[in-house]
Each structure stands twice: as structure tokens, then as C-alpha cells.
Amino acid sequence: PAAPRINPSILAADFVNMEAELARIAAADFVHVDVMDNHFVPNLTFGPQMVERIQATSPIPLDVHLMIADPDRWAPGYAELGAASVTFHLEAATEPVSLARRLRDIGARAGVAVKPATPVEGLFDLLDDFDQILVMTVEPGFGGQSFMSEMMPKLRRLADEAKRRGSSVWLQVDGGIAASTIEQAAEAGADTFVAGSAVFGADDPGRAIAALRETAAR
């Protein structure tokens, strides 16, 4: 299998020192950018203006995670800013397949995310329409929450189905990923790992990224 990807979440970074914070994660595969609208989730981060500046400042490709209502309206704008991937929530989208097609047409990888209570079976027939699927391992909205290991059977069912269909879709997990939890997520079939506090809370984020990658590859 491909080397596991580690995507640090800047939700755990110091927002007023973003340029320096981005320099601390030079070893990352993607920068995970959490966009929240105080509506789909009970928290607010930033929108396209900030993402545009991060895009201009970071040499690392952006993995944008939209926790917003009405992604059908807003998601293509993030792809147009040059994000490498744009992931919207299945629970919020009206026309997920046509939205994915629009994201791909703009040149972004198309991603879809599911909250803990949302089953993955509805995605089985859509695997070819997406480049990545994000299985949330916390309720979206805040960093620093505990990893929900009860999501592992769901992740495994998705991984098994992707394998059965010969799909190359990336399987992402987000929430509570740390040295102590990444192994079970990798074992259940994840290949892409979002980590906020475990990376930005470390004295040496570069070493934390390398250690996570190594543990996931075991």
C-alpha cells in the first residue's frame, strides 16, 4: 500500500502566527484546513479570504474540510482558490454527485465526509465519484476531542467495499488521531490521517508527523 498520508489540522495552530505555524509542518503531506460556519457545526473559523492567504503562503497542498451548510453553493469557490482537495459533508449537500463533478472539473480532488451517526453504506455506489472519503472519528466542530474507536467497524466496511470494487479512493479519518489511536485507524483501512493537537501540540511537529506516519505504516 501507499505510504500513509499525515495532514496536520491548522485548527490547532495559532491563528495569528499562521505563517510560522505552517513552517513548523513542512513535513506534512497536506495542510488540513477546517472551515466552519457556526451553522452546520457550533463553531466558527474562517472563510475563503483566509484560505486564499494560506494557499499563497504554504508550499504544501491544501486539504480543505468544509463543515458548512449549503456546500453546493460554496465548495466550488474553494476549489477555484487552488485547494488540492475539497471535502464537503454528505449531511449538508443537496446534490453530492454533481457537486463532486464540479470540484473535479475545477481541478480539485473531490471529497465527502460523514459525521459519526451517518452510515457509510449510502456511499458504496458513489465511490467512483469521489477521490477521498472522510470518516469523522469525533463530532465535527472542535479539536482536542477523544477518538471514537466505535467508528472502526464503519471504516472497515467502507475499506472492504472499496477493495471489493477495486476503487482507489483515499480513506481519511479526522478527530483524536494521535500515536495511541492511529494504529487502529490504519488497521481498519484508513490511509490518510488528519491530526491537529497531536502535531501542533508537540515540541517538534516534524518528529510528530514522522512518528505518526511510521506507526500508521506498521
Which one of 144, 164, 165, 217 is in contact with ligand DX5 (CB under 6 A)?
144
Closer residue to ligand DX5 in complex, CB, 24/161? 24
- Grid cell, residue 183, equals 494504529
- Grid cell, residue 164, equals 471489493
3-state class of 156 per DSSP?
Answer: helix
Q: Is 34 among the residues known to form the active site? A: yes
Q: Is 174 among the residues known to form the active site? A: yes
Which one of 145, 167, 184, 215 is in contact with ligand DX5 (CB under 6 A)?
145
Task: Annotate 117-127 with b (16+ C-beta within 10 A) or e (fewer).
Answer: ebebeebeeeb
List the x/- string, 179-198, binding to ligand DX5 by CB under 6 A.
---------------xxxxx
Q: Is 201 among the annotated ligand-binding positions? A: no
Tell me the closest approach of the beta carbon of residue 166 to ligand DX5, in angstroms. 29
- Tell me the CA distances in angstroms from 156 to 7, 27, 83, 102, one per residue in order: 21, 28, 28, 29
Q: How far apart are CA 162 and CA 14, in angstroms?
A: 37
Q: H or E segment at 192?
A: strand 192-195
From the list 29, 63, 131, 174, the catalytic residue is 174
Give residue 118's region: left, alpha or beta (phi > 0; psi -120 to 50).
beta
Closer residue to ligand DX5 in complex, CB, 161/198? 198
| Residue 191 touching Zn ion (CB under 5 A) | no
Closer residue to ligand DX5 in complex, CB, 37/167? 37
Q: Is 32 among the annotated ligand-binding positions? A: yes
141 binds, among Zn ion, ligand DX5, none (CB under 5 to 8 A by kind): ligand DX5
- Grid cell, residue 179, equals 500515536
Which one of 4, 9, 79, 123 is in contact with ligand DX5 (CB under 6 A)?
9
| Residue 131 touching Zn ion (CB under 5 A) | no
Which one of 5, 24, 65, 213 is in contact with Zn ion (CB under 5 A)?
65
| Residue 34 touching Zn ion (CB under 5 A) | yes
- Tell me the CA distances in angstroms from 15 to 9, 10, 54, 185, 203, one per residue in order: 12, 8, 11, 28, 18
For Cα atoms 50, 51, 53, give the angle at the middle one, nearest 5 degrees: 65
| Positions that interact with ligand DX5 (CB under 6 A) | 9, 11-12, 32, 34, 65, 138, 140-145, 174-177, 194-198
Q: Which residues are annotated as a binding site for substrate?
A: 9, 65, 141-144, 174-176, 196-197
Q: Which residues are catalytic?
A: 34, 174
